[in-house]
Amino acid sequence: MSRIAYVNGRYLPLAEAKVHIEDRGYQFSDGVYEVIAVQSGRLVDLDPHLDRLWRSLAEIELAPPMSRRALVSVMREMVRRNGLAEGILYLQVTRGAARREHGFPNPAPRPALTMTVRRSRPPSAAQFADGVTVITIPDIRWKRRDIKSISLLPNILGKEQAHRAGAFEAWMVDPDGTVTEGTSTNAWIVTMEGALVTRPLGPEILPGVTRAGILALARKSGLRVEERSFTVAEAKRAREAFITSTTSWALPVVSIDGEPVGNGHPGSVCASLREAYRRNHVEI
């Protein structure tokens, strides 16, 4: 079966899916997006993803392209038409097509909605068993990182820098030496005292849906949780480190900038939280 895309009300073969040349997403990155995991044909953490989408739309003063109920219907139809059992659904909303001017178009065009899906699997058993490596880089992004904007050039450059260094991810670092997040993940450490630490929500980081799920499970299990900033130096002294995202779940980090974290092997906190997340976060 060929892949099917959704473009502004139409289901089309992927090769025929097109947007207007003056779509503001294409010309200005004037839009937001979401990535939702699909497992056993079901959308994972659907409501939190939609909550974040609606928040991002509000923050850039963009009306939703349709009701939430209608959007869910389209998303499920995309999964059905593509026969997707395991993978991801990508959706994007832009301010639509209008003559190229920086200010908001007046009158406002209809928001543009596109969706695609693709097959994918969670990280490999080897990555869970052996862990992954990260490097640290300066955070050069704008000051509203809490909006899930389609403007991702700094993230792309950072991810490429990580790949060229032979690392899985790059942790971005503010001028004060504190870690904000990864280029496509949230960042975590477990201190030598056993505290689970991740940066608090705010304009500096994206409010990760998997991050929220992991936090809830950690608190439920009785772990000591600290939502605070941590430095690169503290991360390198930590007992454990890991990353979370829709596509990574909870993936152990075993070295930072070539220096081992803890004993250089995945830790038990990450493993237990990942297993708890796997059991609890498929939509039912």
236 catalytic residue (yes or no): no
Which residues fall within 8 angstroms of residue 114, CB to CB, at 6 or more apart?
Answer: 5, 6, 7, 8, 17, 19, 91, 92
Residue recorded with tokens 């829709």: 246
Q: Is 146 in the same domain as 247? A: yes
Q: Is 47 in the same domain as 167? A: no
pLDDT confidence of residue 176: 97
HSE, side-chain direction, 13 A CA sphere, residue 75: 25
Q: Is 62 in the same domain as 148? A: no
pLDDT in tens, 163-221: 999 999 999 999 999 999 999 999 999 999 999 999 999 999 999 999 999 999 999 99
Q: Is 14 in the same domain as 131? A: no
Q: Which domain holds residue 107?
A: 4-119
Which of 119, 145, 171 finishes a domain? Answer: 119
pLDDT in tens, 138-173: 999 999 999 999 999 999 999 999 999 999 999 999
Q: Which residues of 98-135 are buried (b: 16+ CB within 10 A; e: fewer)?
A: beeeeeebeeebebbbbbbbeeeebbeeeebeebbbbb
Q: Is 149 in the same domain as 200? A: yes
**What does each C-alpha distance from 149 to 74, 76, 94, 155 come to in angstroms?**
21, 23, 10, 11
Q: What is the pLDDT along the chain (284 residues), one digit of tens a residue?
A: 579 999 999 999 999 999 999 999 999 999 999 999 999 999 999 999 999 999 999 999 999 999 999 999 999 999 999 999 999 999 999 999 999 999 999 999 999 999 999 998 878 889 999 999 999 999 999 999 999 999 999 999 999 999 999 999 999 999 999 999 999 999 999 999 999 999 999 999 999 999 999 999 999 999 999 999 999 999 999 999 999 999 989 999 999 999 999 999 999 999 999 999 988 874 43
**Beta-carbon neighbour count of residue 16 at 10 Å?**
11
Q: Is 202 in the same domain as 70? A: no
- Which residue out of 148, 159, 220, 236 is catalytically annotated? 148
Q: Is 143 in the same domain as 106? A: no
Which of 85, 119, 153 finishes a domain? Answer: 119
Q: Is 139 in the same domain as 272? A: yes
Q: Is 100 in the same domain as 151? A: no
